[in-house]
Structure 1
Amino acid sequence: MSKRNLRCMYAIALLQGMVFYGPIATLYREAQGVSIAQITLIESISLALCILLEVPWGILADKLGYKNTMVACCFLYFLSKIVFWQATGFGGFLLERIMLSVVTAGLSGVDASILYLSCSGQDSQKVFGRYNSLQTAGLLMAALVFSLFVGDNYPLAGLLTVLSYGAAALCTLGLTEVKPPAPFSARLTLEVLRQTLSHRRLLLFLLAGVLMSEAHQTITTFLNQLQYARCGLPDEAIGLLYVAATVAGMAGIWSARLTHRTGKRGTALLLYGGGTAACVVLALTFSPLPSICAILGLRLCHTLFQPFLMELQNQQVTTPHRATALSVHAMLMDGVGVGTNLVFGALAEVNLSWAFWFGGVLCLAGLALFFKWYSSRPQG
């Protein structure tokens, strides 16, 4: 086990979690002249670019080594935050998201591989839980600073985020390589792609995972603020609720314990079912308290779900070209995300409740697919 790598990765997670404009991410963009439909369009363009870059980046990561890839991507991440800080209008935020697509595709599978290999696959759900919880701790710290000191000073929120991501980039220099770089082989890469696409059970698992994740991402990042606004909550209250949601996001450290007690089927039923119920409540209410409880509930379910999903996904990788395989997984999942983002945006423009109903359908479909995947597992 490489404790040095784990410490560096935990520090990076904490610092990159410090998005000081997080509580007003949608309002920030709207203040700079971007509508909700444009926001979701930018998200879809970003995901489409991720799809194009996923496999090439996975191949490059296996060739360059995971440390070098992590360093390059985190420094580019830092630059993208500078662009966000200075962005105005559709074009500026689109540029930032294009840069973020390059980063996301580059880090896809690399951070998880470093964590998984650094702990030799032992207690990886706990390691993933700590990693995700530290990202959330960073969000919490940033949200507290926003609520207490930043307020409606949006440019300051952007600047503080730039500084945090710069520090995270410097932390990557302390990483050590977890595996020797693999020579490039087009044949092996195509074989990984072919095996994934022909593995029906794996495809069921990936689709089940992305449906829950996309519902959570869109609702808790963008649509929640619109729901709070239509409930009549002021910006100060939205900032405090963001803090509460961030605290709920630290529950990932208990993901492994939950799975140990309830089993994989029980965990899936509890978390997918909770996500579905949260979306239904949001679709039916205009009142603050039910909306707050539903959004926090959805956040909690997904927080517990992520380490659970990451361990199961890494356990299914058998090739030494781990980053390539995980990039192929991410490419397929991002493809689903492009479509769901566009649907969410179109529905929210017409009727916000329709978008929440759609989120509920995604969570319920994810549960059905997960059970189908789990029931088809090899016996014995």
Structure 2
Amino acid sequence: MGKDDFFVKRNIYLLYAMTFLQGMVFYGAISTLYRQAQGVSIFEITLIESISFALSIALEVPWGVVADRIGYKRTMIFCCWVYFLSKIIFWQASDFGGFLAERVLLSVVIAGFSGVDTSILYLCAGQERSQHVFGVYNSLGMAGLLTASAVYTLFIGENYRLSALLTVFSYGTAALLSLGLVEVHPAPEKKEAREPFAATLRATLTTPGLLAFLLAVGLLTEVHQTVTVFLNQLQYERCGMGSTAIGGVYIAATLLGLCGTWSSAVTRRTGGRRAAVLFTLAPALACIVLALTDRAVLSVGSIWLLRVSDSLFQPFQAQLQNRQVHTANRATALSIHAMILDTVAIGSNLTFGALAQWDLRLAFGYGTAAGLGALGLFAYWRRKTNLV
């Protein structure tokens, strides 16, 4: 194995370990209940999320430009340490302001990571292996969450503060591992000509069908994120489930998230076109069932369906997203993509939060509409690009 191969594998394995550790959110199963216990309402939770997304939008492009200029390694190291700091703040938060401060720092991290971690993996793995590598990467994040959820259910129970403290330790370890990354996108020499930002922006936004693709990805991602992270717990309480049952169901849902490893195999077997249809219809079906039932079995099954669908979808869309980058400033282009995704996320979060505050069933109805809308957007994108 040559020196370059060693560094390529080193980066991939370090990122695998880091995403596993950053997946170890020990309060994940009760994240909404944790905040509510500190006096934060469900609307305030989604408001904080939307503020976070708005800040991410403001930081996306500047961070992308900075990452392309200072290199991906330095960007990752800085973001990992800020991530660590954000978890310390979450551990100590006791009101709306504290949780908002945590999400402000998280916005800095999200904007910094955006396109950088996947760029490192894409450049190290190559186009042919990238979907498989993305699948393993996402699945290891789920494996970390599964491990943390098991620890929470078996040992932590109602001690919410302890779950936050353990999360601080896992993120601190990930920050230490980031120091071992090897640069794959060195900062350009001052004398080296750089592609102007306007040229990168024009090349990105004029890519055929890209906007429709990103809108579809944003809708599907936010349906999964909002329903499986926040609204699921409210639905479980609506069904009369206790905290122990919620923890057990959460572990099972996290375990199902490991199926992202098989994303590449599934899309090869079904074909990209059919896979895209499945990945949009499954969330729509899950949300309509959640809107119509208060039975625990059907609710749990629908949440699990959302988890499986998203776990298979994310590596698929990440590979397609990277294939649509046609500029040397990869991090900048992907930051522009993320800015569009964050815009979708703001609207979706506020809509979900307002509807859930009024009637949880209406929020799930919106999730169904979003899934069907994504199906139409994917159909338009495919006609423009014929990439799947």
Shorter-chain TM-score range: over 0.9
Q: Name the residue aligned to 1:141.
A: 147
Opposite residue 219 of structure 1, the aligned amino acid is V
- Cα distance per residue 1:14-68 (max 9 Å; x no partner): 1000000000000000001100000000000000000000000000001110001
Separation of aligned partners in 2, 1:161 and 1:144: 13
Matches within 5 A, 1:97-108: 97-108=103-114
Q: Name the residue aligned to 2:61.
A: 55
Q: Name the residue aligned to 1:92.
A: 98
Q: Is 1:206 the counterpart of 2:214 in the alignment?
A: yes
Separation of aligned partners in 2, 1:271 and 1:378: 18
Q: Structure 1 residue 122: deviation in Å? A: 3.1
Q: Is 1:251 the counterpart of 2:259 in the alignment?
A: yes
Q: Name the residue aligned to 2:304.
A: 296
Tell me: CA distance 1:318–1:238, structure 2 relative to 1, closer, same or farther (3 Å).
same
Q: Name the residue aligned to 1:132.
A: 138
Q: Name the residue aligned to 1:272.
A: 280
Q: CA RMSD in A?
A: 1.3
Q: Name the residue aligned to 2:359.
A: 351
Structure 2, gaps ≥5 residues long: none
Q: Structure 1 residue 188: deviation in Å? A: 1.7
Separation of aligned partners in 1, 2:189 and 2:159: 49
Separation of aligned partners in 2, 1:199 and 1:267: 22
Secondary structure at the counterpart of residue 34 of structure 1: coil
Moved over 4 A (4+): 183-187
Secondary structure at the counterpart of residue 79 of structure 1: helix
Q: Is 1:318 the counterpart of 2:312 in the alignment?
A: no
Q: Structure 1 residue 199: deviation in Å? A: 3.5
Matches within 5 A, 1:11-50: 11-50=17-56
Opposite residue 97 of structure 1, the aligned amino acid is R
Tell me: CA distance 1:314–1:233, structure 2 relative to 1, closer, same or farther (3 Å).
same
Opposite residue 176 of structure 2, the aligned amino acid is L
Q: Structure 1 residue 195: deviation in Å? A: 2.8
Identity %: 56
Q: Name the residue aligned to 1:78.
A: 84
Q: Structure 1 residue 186: deviation in Å? A: 8.4
TM-score computed with the length of structure 1 as normaliser: 0.98
CA contact (8 A) 1:133 1:249 kept: yes
Q: Structure 1 residue 259: deviation in Å? A: 0.6
Q: Name the residue aligned to 1:263.
A: 271
Separation of aligned partners in 2, 1:76 and 1:11: 18
Q: Name the residue aligned to 1:119.
A: 125
2:378 to 347, 364, 370: 370
Q: Name the residue aligned to 1:4.
A: 10
TM-score computed with the length of structure 2 as normaliser: 0.96
Separation of aligned partners in 1, 2:365 and 2:196: 42
- Cα distance per residue 1:341-378 (max 9 Å; x no partner): 00000000000000001011111111111111112225
Separation of aligned partners in 1, 2:184 and 2:254: 31
Q: Name the residue aligned to 1:332.
A: 340
Separation of aligned partners in 2, 1:339 and 1:103: 21
- Cα distance per residue 1:188-231 (max 9 Å; x no partner): 21222223333451111111111100111100010000000010
CA contact (8 A) 1:196 1:203 kept: no
Opposite residue 223 of structure 1, the aligned amino acid is L
Q: Name the residue aligned to 2:197.
A: 189
1:238 to 240, 246, 252: 246
Structure 1, gaps ≥5 residues long: none
2:313 to 291, 297, 305: 305
